[in-house]
Amino acid sequence: MRFRLILTETLKGLTRNLAMTVSVILVAFVSLLFVGASALLQAQISTMKGDWYDKVEVSVYMCPISSARAECAEGEATQEQIDAIEDLINSNALAPYVASYTIESKAEAYENFIKGYGDTQIGQNATVDMMPVSFRIKLVDAEQYQVVSEQFSGRSGVERVVDQRATLEPLFLVMNRASWITGGLAAIMAVAAVLLITTTIRLSAMSRSRETGIMRLVGASNLFIQLPFMLEGALAALAGALLAVGGLYAGVHYLVEGWLARSISFTSAFIGTDDVLRVAPWLILAAIVIAAASSVFSLSKYTRV
């Protein structure tokens, strides 16, 4: 009987302040959508790092015959200098950092160069002797790229050291900043949701002050009086959370899995709908916490005996 009464009062409150209820749902939806998007963006960054960093190589280019760089003032790298670099790669000092390595000869470098630039003027004028010998070093831990890179920079016969990770860092920096901006917007919208839920519950409590007064006279407890108001906020916030989960699921399914994953061929490191389902319980919990905190703050003044 009591449960039916509480449910009746809750539904009455939701329908009586329909415009405010819809506002709470929409604000909760937008704020939790930003929260979820920020979490999924961080998951995407972690997924891409895990996939791309495993492929990161440090490339050591030896001086070619035609280099104009100051490091190659003595001319083309000699076989002794090339052997010295290979010995360094195999040394005990670099053993903890180097997983494997390959040597690209002049002929192999020329073949790869022609594949990419054979139709251009530069490609037509290139010769095998112009190509550099290079080492492609696979790292045990991509985070340690700088330690390995420093070992080769400035050595005799080395023209330049190229770390592939350096090309990835700007991309991850942009994505991280986008995640921070999304998180900041989510925090602002969460504050707006708290204020709106608080205002809605206060207005509902004020409009039903006569009813709550009668309930006090017949001996109803504070919890019994406050529970319908708390449920109003919780249900509205929960509806917003479910809409946010649905929006994120649709976005990942159609935008990421349906478009990006099929359009981009150089990587398969994308989040999926499973990631949305992992985030969903936290969004629902956040909605309940926001509603509960707003309700407690609001009802302390208007429904306390």
Residue of higher predicted confidence among 269 and 235: 235
Q: What is the CATH number of domain 56-163?
A: 3.30.70.3040
Residues facing residue 104 across a β-bridge? 134
| 287 closest CA partner among 244, 234, 229, 246 | 234
- Does pLDDT of 1 surpass 50? no
CA dist 192 and 194 (Å) reads 5
pLDDT digits (tens, 9 = 90+) for 90-122: 999 898 989 889 999 999 988 888 887 877 777
- Does pLDDT of 85 surpass 70? yes
Please give the average per-residue pLDDT across 218-225, as a whole number. 52
The domain spans of the chain are 2-52+169-302, 56-163
Q: Which two tokens stand for residue 173?
A: 């920096």
- Strands (E) located in 168-230: none
pLDDT digits (tens, 9 = 90+) for 159-186: 998 876 666 677 667 777 777 887 787 7
The pTM of this model reads 0.63
Query: Helices 222-251 and 18-53 sit at what angle, rounded to 10 degrees?
Result: 50
What strands, in cross-sheet order, belong to the sheet with 134-139?
98-104, 134-139, 57-62, 158-163
